[in-house]
Amino acid sequence: MSAVPMPSSPQPAAPPDGLRGLVSDWSSDRQAFHVPWGKAMMWIFLLSDTFIFGSFLTGYMTVRASTTVDWPNVSQVFSLHVGATEVPLLLIAIMTFVLITSSGTMAMAVNCAYRRDRVNAAALMIVTAGFGEMFVCMQAFEWTKLILEGVRPWENPFGAAQFGSSFFMITGFHGLHVTGGVILLIIVSIRLLRGDYERTGNYAIVEIVGLYWHFVDLVWVFIFAFFYLW
């Protein structure tokens, strides 16, 4: 008696290309253009944040260029006394150095995550969070110093009243981003040490956090150039 051939199992259909492939990926919650959704959503968030910071800096430049009152000399406003010497922008230079250094440690953390070295990746992320916390503490000192000197969002003893509102709005919004980044770094580093991502073998979250942190650092470079050096 001849054996009855078993029906072959149907092969999965290849995903469609182009726009249909994008719609298919979106509807099945997979990926867009071969980019994980987490990374794609972070890029969209950073793009929206770019518009916000760009609007803030454009408004600042417009106000400064149109005001009829003398703008404060930022070299004097943000100077610190080291002994008997007044050093202009000393604190701002240290803050910038700390934040740029944190970008380097974050890049090394992402590299370790690619190699699935979760211990060193977590350690470098904690170091990055420490740099971020140092930055926030120095910014709090800067705010306290100016508030004690009489700077308010609605008035300023050094010159144009718009200086206070621009300063608190721009640096405060950026400081909020740094604080959020520090919290995110600590949470992800703890989960790395616990081995949460080892079970799935997916360390993309480290790169996603790295994108956010590098964006925060880049924004500070523009704030430093337009607000403190102009």
Cα-flanking dihedrals φ and ψ of residue 116, to 5°?
60, 30
pLDDT of residue 230: 84
Residues 79-102 have a mean pLDDT of 93
Structure tokens at 53: 């910071």
Q: What percent of the chain has pLDDT over 90?
A: 70
DSSP conformation class of 32: E
Cα distance between residue 211 and residue 187, in whole Å: 16
pLDDT of residue 9: 47
pLDDT band per the 50, 70, 90 thresholds, residue 27: low
Structure tokens at 132: 């971020």
Report the CATH fold assignment for 41-228. Four Helix Bundle (Hemerythrin (Met), subunit A) (1.20.120)
Domain boundaries along the sequence of the chain: 41-228
pLDDT of residue 53: 97
Residues 78-85 have a mean pLDDT of 88
pLDDT of residue 25: 60
pTM over 0.75: yes
